[in-house]
Amino acid sequence: MIRVVLDAMGGDFGPAAAVAGAAMASLDAEGVHVVLTGPAEVIQRELDLHPHDPRRLSLLDAGPPVPMDADPRAALERCPEASIAVATRLLREGGADGLVSAGHTGATVLSAASQLERIAGVHRAALAAVVPTEAPHGPRRDPFSLMLDVGATLHVTGRELVEFAIMGAAYSSIISGIREPSVALLSNGTEPGKGPAEVVEAHRVLSGVPVRFVGNVEGLDIPRGTADVFVCEGYVGNVVLKMLEGVADVFRELAVDAAARHLKWKLGLSMLEGGMRRLHRVADWEHYGGSPLLGFEQVIIKAHGRSGPVAIRNAIKVSAKAVEGGLARRIAAGIESLEEAR
Amino acid sequence: MIRVVLDAMGGDFGPAAAVAGAAMASLDAEGVHVVLTGPAEVIQRELDLHPHDPRRLSLLDAGPPVPMDADPRAALERCPEASIAVATRLLREGGADGLVSAGHTGATVLSAASQLERIAGVHRAALAAVVPTEAPHGPRRDPFSLMLDVGATLHVTGRELVEFAIMGAAYSSIISGIREPSVALLSNGTEPGKGPAEVVEAHRVLSGVPVRFVGNVEGLDIPRGTADVFVCEGYVGNVVLKMLEGVADVFRELAVDAAARHLKWKLGLSMLEGGMRRLHRVADWEHYGGSPLLGFEQVIIKAHGRSGPVAIRNAIKVSAKAVEGGLARRIAAGIESLEEAR
């Protein structure tokens, strides 16, 4: 039985969405046991509203969530029993193999960094996100690539970029079922010598590591999806990811605005509904289980704040799948071969 | 009379587009004289094809362009008489006030860096680009913001980011007619303490400089256009700019692909034509005169490689407008007040 602990208070919809998602998982995620952290009476009340399998769900009493707009360091100091802190502690003590939270991203990263051991040889944890792409990936033709880091770091060294490449490839291989995911470095030109010093160094090292490294790529390769995994420092990854969200929002608003003003456009848009839904689905990366925080012995999945019950259920399944696929072991093996190559 | 020198060989369409654009400018850009650099016989042959005012056009014999796929340093060493090198030399010698090139970006930057003086107190030149935005800017409601640097640098210091802010504000003020353009720092969070060390330092300094500084913004603020000028290091700016181009291309292809497969979608798209044209225009930043390379005593405009005659003509006009508006003088004044504030 794989044990996944869920911060049952985190996310824009609080325990209503989280507990409903866990209840769904208890019925259809085989071989998974979910531990819910948060005030026991709050969680029990939510749980009573949903059909669930009580043999595959348990409660672990904890405090409230870290508020979405709080400074995470101050909030965790003020409330060491916050639901995310208690969930992370359970991971550390071996009471769970994976963690899912739709709560405060900074608090999730900080809880993990302060409580958990990193895999030997990994210098920095990285948050990876899926980005929508034109090209399909892997046997299931997933319409997205993985990009990391998107915000756990700011600037990094070349060695750290190489670690990100190894971690991203391991995750992509397990989750998308790609035997050898292609990995690219995000730079300002495709030539090996292009980019900041750390990118140039990473390029040199990656050529001698057991990762299918396809070289440097540029910004336009992200929407095209020319690699399965894009590697960059957290500052760049964060700006890029948030910009993609902004672009999708703006396109949507412009279309709605146009429709409101002209009857002909409204008619045209309604005829396009099927196509718009498809476009929307391509851009809707919330449904792919969330963002893994990579580099720790345990599996941590940061689900989107706006996650509803289905997204939470998916994140629980993805977390279990990564545990089952031996994520930490595969990352450790990659790092070892990196040490040997030096 | 403002004198603008044009690399008449640069760009995807070579002298055919450049010379045609210059011919147009000679007829409708008042108070501007254009000097064309390139092999005299090639340019003369093109010029004979287009109506033009010979009193406002002259030729300066030079070699071929730097090929678009060449390493710019090697190419300029091999051919010191390349059309961009000769054009830049004319700037240095005072024979022109502004330069326009649709040729190799790296060669344009390198020619300027090796031949021209930077404005006193400016440590690094920056390439600025216009990015399409939802919000309109300035009295003419321009649907774009300015972003810099987009590739003349990689990583920079906090002081250099402040210089970029001053330069971007000066340019935006002259070209978009905004009295006090709002300037934002691109970061991974809006709080003053958020971001890499150089962003945090720039944030502190900018609060005491005569620029309308609106603080840190995130990636999603770029398509929204919440500031007139976005400031970042060249590595980030380059990735972001190329990604925006890629996103626009992918959206276009998905729409065309959908239309080809379903009659109903095709019909819907044709009814939406007006709206699509508007969307397209928003995303079509080629038509706003090109990207200024800021930091030198002279005005340098890098036009898009795909520029046709109208885009070249527009770039010439923009270059003359920046000269007329006293771009270098305004940047110098901003830098002086920065020195005083220290």
Q: What is the DSSP string of A32-43?
A: EEEEEEE-HHHH
Q: Give long-range contacts, CB 8 A cutoff, 24+ apart: B105-109.
A: B105/B151, B105/B302, B105/B305, B106/B72, B107/B66, B107/B70, B107/B72, B107/B75, B107/B76, B107/B82, B108/B7, B108/B10, B108/B84, B108/B293, B108/B300, B108/B302, B109/B72, B109/B151, B109/B152, B109/B293
- Supply angle C-alpha A325, A328, A330, rounded to 5: 65
Listed residue (A185, A208, B155, B76) closest to A193, CA to CA: A185
Q: Among A134, A155, A196, whose Cβ lies nearest the Cβ of B250?
A: A134
3-state secondary structure A123-174: CCCEEEEEEEEEEEECCCCEEEEEEECCCCCCCCCHHHHHHHHHHHHHHHHH
What confidence score (pLDDT) does residue B254 get?
A: 67
Using CA atoms in the order B186, B188, B189, B194, what is the torsion angle rounded to 10 degrees?
-90
Cα B37 from chain centroid (whole Å): 20
- Is cis: bond before B142, omega within 30 of 0? no
For chain B, give the mean pLDDT: 91
What confidence score (pLDDT) does residue A234 get?
A: 96
Yes or no, beta carbons of B154 and A232 under 8 Å apart: no
Q: Percent of chain A at pLDDT above 90?
A: 76
Q: Band the pLDDT of B259: cuts 50, 70, 90.
A: low
Yes or no, beta carbons of A244 and B219 under 8 Å apart: yes
Smallest Cα distance from A120 to chain B, Å:
26
Smallest Cα distance from B221 to chain A, Å:
7
Q: Which residues contact A311 (CB under 8 A, 6 or more apart)?
A: A17, A21, A102, A286, A287, A289, A290, A303, A304
Yes or no, beta carbons of A220 and B195 under 8 Å apart: no
Yes or no, beta carbons of B268 and A272 under 8 Å apart: yes
The two tokens of residue B96 are 């022109």
What single-letter amino acid sits at A23? A
How many whole angstroms separate alpha carbon B187 and alpha carbon B198? 10
Q: Taking the CA atoms of B90, B96, B100 and B106 in sequence, report the sign of the dihedral they define.
A: positive
Q: Among A221, A241, A246, whose Cβ lies nearest the Cβ of B224?
A: A246
What single-letter amino acid sits at A67? P
Per-residue pLDDT of A85-143, as tens digits, reads: 999 999 999 999 999 999 999 999 999 999 999 999 999 999 999 988 888 888 888 88
CB half-sphere exposure, B253, CA atoms < 13 A = 11
User: Does the pLDDT value for residue B7 go beyond 90?
Assistant: yes
Using CA atoms in the order B75, B79, B80, B84, what is the torsion angle rounded to 10 degrees?
-70
Yes or no, beta carbons of B262 and A275 under 8 Å apart: yes
What single-letter amino acid sits at A4? V
Q: Which is higher by pLDDT, B283 or B145?
A: B145
What confidence score (pLDDT) does residue B320 get?
A: 97
Query: What are the structural domains of chain B?
Result: 1-122+295-324 (3.40.718.10)
Cβ-Cβ pairs closer than 8 A, A with B, add up to: 162
Segment B118-147 shows an average pLDDT of: 91
For chain A, give the mean pLDDT: 91
How many whole angstroms separate alpha carbon B102 and alpha carbon A322? 49
Q: Using the structure block, give the residue that is written with the tokens 């830098």.
A: B335
Percentages (nearest 5) of helix, strand, coil residues in chain A: 50, 20, 30
Q: Among A223, A241, A262, whose Cβ lies nearest the Cβ of B250?
A: A223
**Strand, helix or coil for residue B336:** helix
Yes or no, beta carbons of A244 and B249 under 8 Å apart: no
How many whole angstroms separate alpha carbon B126 and alpha carbon B105? 12
User: Does the pLDDT value for residue B136 go beyond 90?
Assistant: no
What confidence score (pLDDT) does residue A275 get?
A: 55
Buried-state track B174-193, b at ≥16 Cβ within 10 A, e below 16:
bbbebeebbbbbbbbbeeee
Q: Identify all chain A residues contacting B239, using CB atoms and an 8 Å cutoff.
A: 186, 188, 218-219, 232, 236, 240
Q: Which candidate in B105, B186, B265, B272 is best for mutational testing of the A interface (most A CBs within 10 A)?
A: B272
Closest-CA residue of A relative to B235 is: A188
Q: Identify all chain A residues contacting B151, using CB atoms and an 8 Å cutoff.
A: 188
What confidence score (pLDDT) does residue A283 get?
A: 45
Closest-CA residue of A relative to B246 is: A220
User: Does the pLDDT value for residue B238 go beyond 50?
Assistant: yes
Q: Among A187, A223, A269, whose Cβ lies nearest the Cβ of B272?
A: A269
The two tokens of residue B308 are 């046709």
Q: Which residues contact A342 (CB under 8 A, 6 or more apart)?
A: none
Yes or no, beta carbons of A265 and B274 under 8 Å apart: yes
Cα A20 from chain centroid (whole Å): 20
The two tokens of residue B140 are 């003419």
Q: Band the pLDDT of A71: cuts 50, 70, 90.
A: very high
User: Does the pLDDT value for residue A271 go beyond 50?
Assistant: yes
What is the predicted ipTM? 0.84
How many whole angstroms separate alpha carbon B75 and alpha carbon B272? 47
How many whole angstroms separate alpha carbon A82 and alpha carbon A111? 10
Q: Band the pLDDT of B207: cuts 50, 70, 90.
A: confident
Is the CB of residue A37 less than 8 Å from the CB of residue A62? yes
Yes or no, beta carbons of B238 and A222 under 8 Å apart: no
User: Does the pLDDT value for residue A282 go beyond 60?
Assistant: no
Q: Which candidate in A186, A194, A235, A267 is best for mutational testing of the B interface (most B CBs within 10 A)?
A: A235
Per-residue pLDDT of A295-342, as tens digits, reads: 999 999 999 998 999 999 999 999 999 999 999 999 999 999 998 876
What confidence score (pLDDT) does residue A280 get?
A: 52
**Strand, helix or coil for residue A192:** coil
Closest-CA residue of A relative to B152 is: A188
- Is cis: bond before A69, omega within 30 of 0? no
User: What length does chain B have?
Assistant: 342
What confidence score (pLDDT) does residue A268 get?
A: 63
Yes or no, beta carbons of B245 and A155 under 8 Å apart: no
Q: Give the single-character DSSP code of A195.
A: S
Segment A48-54 shows an average pLDDT of: 97
